[in-house]
Each structure stands twice: as C-alpha cells, then as structure tokens.
Amino acid sequence: MATTGVFNGTNLLLKVEGDTIGHTTSCSLTISHDLPDATTKDSNGFSEVISGLRSGEISFEGLVDYSDAASAIELIDYILNRTVVTCVFGTSTTGDAIYTAEGFISSVEQSAEMESTVSYSGSITLTGAIVKSANV
C-alpha cells in the first residue's frame, strides 16, 4: 500500500546499479526545466517562455563503510571508469512513486576529521529520460 501523509525521510532510498547506497544520511532529487525566453513585441509587456530542456541531478551524503555493496569506493570507480549507472530514487514501499534514470557520477568526496566518523558526499548528473513509475 502506498505511503500516505507526511513520512520519515529515512524511508527514501537511492539505488545505483541495483544496490542501495549504504549508510546514507541524506539524498535529494532535483528535476529542472529550462524555460527559454519567448518574449516579443506582441507580448504586451509581459514575459513569455517556452518549454525547453529538462534535466535532473541526485545528491547524497552518508557515512563510509567499505563493506557496503554501493560504497564510496565503488562510486569513485564509476567515475574513474566513466560508467553510466542506472539510478532509482524512492521508497521501498509498494505503490509509492519511484524515479529511474541513467546518469554519471559527477562527484564523490570523502571527508575524515580527527576523532570523527568518515563521511562521503556526491552527486549524479542524470542523462536521458527520467521515468516515474510505481514501486512494485
């Protein structure tokens, strides 16, 4: 049954190549729509736009655990090998909306402060169609 009402952000997951990115503390999906100016003298002093390119980006942060199936090390390998990855963003609840797209890992950063947990962050630039479907 699909999630209803306000829900806990812990339920949103990011999968890359079928594996959930491990120990994430946050993830976000940004979908953008370019709106080129189409204003002319016939616009009666109002701005007009047309529909242009659509694009997407996923960003994520988490704690490093090299034993995770999709760890910071694997994400860096995707960059070094210029690998196109399949990403799924959504919950694991049946009926909820999920977004699936291909993309390139555009950045991964690992940070290690003295006497603190090692963390990572990164982003994925999506390429091609972004498909919305229901989780089954």
What integer pLDDT is reported at residue 20 of this predicted model? 96
CB 72 within 8 A of CB 25: no
pTM of the model: 0.92
What integer pLDDT is reported at residue 1 of this predicted model? 80
Instruction: Give residue 54's pLDDT band: very low, low, confident or very high (50, 70, 90).
Output: very high
Instruction: Give residue 2's pLDDT band: very low, low, confident or very high (50, 70, 90).
Output: confident
Question: Do you know the residue count of the chain?
Answer: 136
5 lies in some domain: no
The count of other CB atoms within 10 Å of the CB of residue 25 is 13
Q: Report residue 44 as tokens.
A: 């009666």
117 lies in some domain: yes
Q: Report residue 54 as tokens.
A: 């659509």
31: domain range?
Answer: 10-134
3 lies in some domain: no
Domain CATH number, residue 15:
2.40.30.200
**Whole-number mean pLDDT of the chain?**
96
State the average pLDDT over residues 35-39: 98
Instruction: Give residue 75's pLDDT band: very low, low, confident or very high (50, 70, 90).
Output: very high
Number of separate domains in the chain = 1
Instruction: Give residue 72's pLDDT band: very low, low, confident or very high (50, 70, 90).
Output: very high
115: alpha, beta or left? (left if phi > 0; alpha if psi -120 to 50): left
pLDDT over threshold 90, residue 35: yes
Q: Where do we find the tokens 């079928």?
A: 18
